[in-house]
Amino acid sequence: MSADPTAHTSHSRTRIGGRGTAYIQVAFVLAGLVLGLATPWITRGPGLDAALVTGMLVTLGPAVLGVVILIFSLMLGVVQWIADTFTPRLTLFGDSPLVRRTFGFTVGVTVFCITIAVDNGIRGRTEVSVVVPAIAILLLVIVVALVRTLLLRAFTNIQLAHNLSAIATLGREVLDISYPQVAGPAATTLPPLRSTITWPSPVTVLQEIHLDQLLGAAETSNTVIVLRATPGAALQQGTPVADIHGDELSTSAVLDTLVVGDVRTFEQDPLFAVQLLADIALRALDKNDPQSAVETLDYLEDLLTRAASPQTGPLRIADRSATLRIVIHYPGWEDFVRTGLDSVIAGAMDFPTVLLRIKVLLEQVRGRAQPDRHDLLTDRLAWVTDELTTRYPSLLRHRT
C-alpha cells in the first residue's frame, strides 16, 4: 500500500493540556458570552416573566458545570485505571478531542446562562421571549448527549480488546506512512557535509516533524537534510538532530519543523504501537493474566508481520524535480523485534501458554518476512524453543 510520507505533517503542534486546549476553552467561553448577550434581544414568541427565567438560568448554569466536573473526576479515575492496568503511556482516552470539547461546551453553557441572568438584572427586563429558556434547554440536552457519549467512551476504553484494536490500527497507519511500498528516489552520493544541527534545549521527546515545511526549506536552500533523530526519540541537550549537506541552512529552519513534548505520540513514531503492545503484555504477565498477554500477542503479530514486509531502510523524500532533499533513518527491523519481543519473552518464562503463543508468532512472522530478516526471528525462536524444551517438555511434545 502506498502512502505519502508527508501526510501527517499538517497536524497541530499543540497537545492535550497545551495552548490548543486553552484556545478551545476560550472559544467556547466567548461563544457563550456572545450568545448570552444576543439571545435576550429576541422578541419572537410568547413572553415569560424575566425573574422566573433568570432564576432558572442562575440555577441551571452552575448545576450543569458541577455535574460535569463530577463526571470528569470519574474520568480521571478511568485514566488512572488505564495507566495501572495497561500502561501509563496509553493516552488515547485522555487525548480524545471529545474530552476537551465536552468540558469546553459545558463551560460555554454555564457562561451563557449566567450572562443572560446578569444582563436581565442590569437592564431591568420584566419579560423575555420563550425562545431564551428554549435555547437554554436545547443546550442542556446537548450537554447531556455529550456526557452520555463521554461515559460510553470511557467504558469502552477500559476494555482490553478495544485498546488493542485501536493501538494496532494506529500502528498500521504509521507503518504505511513511514515505510511506503512505493520506492522513493534511488540512493545517491550526498553533497559534502556542511554542518550538524544539535538540540539546544533540555531533554524532551520528539513527537512529530513537519516534513512539508522541512522539504520546502531544503528545496529553497538547495540542501539535503539527513535527519538523525526520529519521532519517539528523547532529545538531550546537544543531541545531533540533522546533518546538512550541500549549501548553508539555518538552524532555525530545521528546529522550527520539530514538534516536541513530554510524551511519545502516534503521529510519526513507527515503534510506539509495538512498544505499547509489549508494555500491555508485560503488565498482564505481571498480574498473572496470561490470557490477556496471549490476546495482546495476536495484535503484536499483526504489526510485526506488517513491519517485516516493506524495506525498513532510510526513507528518502525528493522535491518536485525528483532531487533528493530529505533522508530519514527510521527504526530498522532489529528495533521492531527487540522492542516487541525480547522483554515479553523474558517475562513469559513461567507461563507456558504465552511461550507457546510466542513460538507460533515467531514462526508465522518468519514465514512472511523477507529472507534477510529470518536470522533475528530464528534466534528468538531458538531461545523460546529451548525454554519450552527445558521447562515444559511435555507441552512441546504434545504440540508436535
Kindly report, residue by residue over 355-378, the tens digit of the pLDDT: 999 999 999 999 998 888 899 999
Contacts 24+ apart (CB under 8 A), 74-77: 74/154, 75/99, 75/150, 75/154
The reported pLDDT for the residue numbered 14 is: 35
* Structure confidence at residue 8 (pLDDT): 38
- The model's pTM is 0.81
C-alpha distance from residue 121 to each of 50, 61, 116 (Å):
9, 16, 9
Q: Specify which residues 223 forms β-bridges with.
A: 246
- Tell me what pLDDT residue 123 has: 85
Place of cell 518464562: 349
**Backbone phi, then psi, for 193, in 5-degree steps?**
-65, 125
Q: How many CA atoms lie within 13 A of 180 on its CB side?
A: 15
Residues of the chain with pLDDT under 70: 1-21, 181-187, 310-312, 396-400
Cα separation, 140 vs 230, in Å, equals 45
% of residues, the chain, pLDDT over 90: 52
Residue 186's pLDDT is: 62
CA atoms within 13 A on the CB side of 359: 19
- The confidence score (pLDDT) of residue 396 equals 65
Measure the CA–CA gap between 324 and 184, rounded to whole angstroms.
9
Per residue in 315-334, pLDDT tens? 888 888 888 999 998 898 99
